[in-house]
Amino acid sequence: MPLQTRFERKKNKLKNYMTISSSYKTNSPKFWTKNLKNKTIGQRTFVLILILCSFFSLTCASSGFGTQGLLYENQRIGMMETGLSGTKEGIACAKSYLGLLALGDASVEASQKNGNIREITSIELETYNFLGIYAKLCAITRGN
């Protein structure tokens, strides 16, 4: 048997260590592998559900003002008031669906125009949110 050099002995030791560590198997499924063809339908479904849940948990509709209710929210928030009473009221709303699609103009200018108001006496925000699926934010102006 020929004598091994010090380098060859270290190389063989490392090779044995690599073989032992790579042959160690865990029972946890590897969903992150690129090849999903070998996965069962249950594993593919689990991966799909996991991706969809993370996507929908990050994209919830929210009014963005006041306290946030996870299941339901319906509140009115006073933004500005002069103390004078107004005879006219204008409302402008914006809506959001799943946080993916947002439509509308909830600006004070739009609500002022909708109520035909020249002098604003108070501004309120009204929020509504249901399960993060649908959210509505309305600007309500009162004045003369």
Question: What residue spans define the domains of the chain?
Answer: 72-143
Question: Residue 55's pLDDT is what?
Answer: 72
- Which of 13-17, 81-85, 106-110, 139-143 is predicted with the least confidence, judged by mean pLDDT? 13-17
CA angle 17, 21, 27 (to 5 degrees): 165
For 60-71, write each residue's pLDDT tens digit: 666 666 777 778
* 101 contacts 134 by C-beta, under 8 angstroms: no
